[in-house]
Amino acid sequence: MAEAAVTFLLENVQKLLVEQMNLISGAEKELKQLQSELELMNAFLIEYANNREKGQVFIQFERQIREAVYEAEDTLDACLTHKAKSKSAVLLNLKNADLAKKVKELRLQLQPIFDRAIKGLNALPVAVGSGIPHDNKLKKTELVLREDNVVGFADEEATLIKYLYEKTEQLDVISIVGMPGLGKTTLAWKIYRDPKIQFEFPTLIWVYVSQEFNAREVFLTILKKFTREDMSGKDDIELRQLVRSRLERGRFLLFMDDVWTVDDWKQIEPALPRNNKLGKVLITSRHERVAKQTNLNREPHKLRFLTTEESWELLELEVFVKTNTCPKELKGLGKHIAAQCRGVPLAVVVIGGTLIEKRQDRREWEKVSDSVSSYIQDDKRTENIISMSYHKLPHNLRDCFLYLGIFPEDTEISAWKLTRLWIAEGFIQQKRGRSLEEVAEDNLDDLVARNLVMAEKTKANGDINTCRVHDMIREFCQNEAEFANKNLFQEVKKTRHGVFEPAISEIVKRRRLCIHSNVVMEFLRKRPKGPGVRSFVCFSKETIGLPAEHTGSIPDAFALLRVVDATPLKFTKFPAKLTKLIHLRYIALSGNEFKALPEGVSNLWNLQTVKIDTTSRELEVRVDISKMVQLRHLKTKAAISLKEVRLRGGGGENLQTLSRLSAESCTAELFSRASNLKNLGIRGNLNTLVDAAYLGKLEKLEKLKLVHDTFSKTEENALHRFPHVHNLPPNLRMLTLSYTQLAWTQMTTLGGLHSLEVLKLKEMAFKGGLWETQGGGFPNLETLHIARTDLKTWTAASDEPFPKLKNLILKNCEGLQEIPSAVGKGKSLQLLEIERVSTTLVQSAKKIEKERQEMQGGEVRGRRGGFKLKTSPGDASSSTPN
How many other C-beta atoms are found inside a 10 Å radius of the C-beta of residue 732?
Answer: 23
Cα 804 versus chain centre, distance: 28
Question: What integer pLDDT is reported at residue 878 of this predicted model?
Answer: 39
Burial 178-189 (b: 16+ CB within 10 A, else e): bbbbbbbbbbbb
> Quick one: CA torsion of 747, 748, 752, 753, rounded to 10 degrees?
0
Nearest of 183, 181, 184, 163 to residue 173 by alpha carbon: 163
Task: Give the DSSP per-residue string, 248-280.
Answer: SSS-EEEEEE----HHHHHHHGGGS-TT-TT-E
- For residue 857, what pLDDT is reported? 56
In percent, the amount of the chain with pLDDT more than 90 equals 53
Residue range 672-688, pLDDT digits in tens: 989 999 999 999 999 98
Which has the closest alpha carbon to 290: 104, 490, 446?
A: 446
Q: According to the model, what pLDDT value does residue 530 have?
A: 92
Beta bridge partner(s), residue 298: 863
Highest mean pLDDT among 75-79, 108-112, 259-263, 356-360: 259-263
Mean predicted confidence (pLDDT) in 290-308? 91
d(CA 18, CA 92): 20
Q: Is the pLDDT of residue 90 over 60?
A: no
- 92: pLDDT strictly greater than 50: no
pLDDT of residue 880: 35
**Nearest of 560, 527, 520, 526 to residue 544 by alpha carbon:** 520
Contact 682, 736 (CB under 8 A): no
Strand pairing category for 563-570 and 586-590: parallel
pLDDT at 227 over 60: yes
pLDDT at residue 300 above 90? yes
| Count of CB atoms situated within 10 Å of the CB of 356 | 12
- Contact at 8 Å (CB) between 474 and 456? no
Range among 414-423, 546-555, 618-627 rated most confident:
414-423
**Sign (positive or negative) of CA dihedral 128, 133, 134, 136:** negative
Range with lowest mean pLDDT among 124-133, 289-298, 799-808, 849-858: 124-133
Task: Give the whole-angstrom CA distance, residue 764 versus residue 702.
Answer: 23
Strand partners, 613: 590
pLDDT band at 144; cut points 50, 70, 90 = very low
Residue pair 461/758 in contact by the 8 Å Cβ criterion: yes
Question: What is the Cα Rg of the chain in Å?
Answer: 30
d(C-alpha 632, C-alpha 679), whole Å? 11
* pLDDT attached to residue 53: 56
Q: Is the pLDDT of residue 366 over 70?
A: yes
Residues contacting residue 212 through CB under 8 Å, at least 6 positions apart: 128, 129, 130, 137
Q: Which alpha helices (H) appear in 404-519, and where do they start and end?
A: 415-425, 436-449, 471-481
**pLDDT tens per residue across span 682-721:** 999 999 898 899 999 999 999 999 999 876 555 667 788 8
The yes-or-no verdict on residue 156 having pLDDT over 60 is: yes
- CA–CA dist 411, 399 (Å, integer): 19
**Quick one: pLDDT at residue 559?**
93
Range from 92-101, 243-252, 870-879 that averages highest in pLDDT? 243-252
Least confident segment among 201-210, 313-322, 645-654: 645-654
**Comparing C-alpha atoms, which of 323, 371, 648, 378 is closest to residue 496?**
371
For 472, residues 6+ apart whose C-beta sits below 8 A from its C-beta are 181, 342, 344, 346, 347, 373, 376, 377, 382, 386
User: Coil, helix or strand for 756?
Assistant: coil
H helices of 126-235, where? 154-165, 184-192, 195-200, 215-223
State the pLDDT at residue 24: 77
Average pLDDT of 552-569?
Answer: 94
Which residues lie across from 597 on neighbouring strands? 621
* Distance in angstroms (rounded) separating the CA atoms of residues 690 and 695: 10
- The pTM is what? 0.88
The partner residues of 203 in beta bridges, in order of sequence, read 252
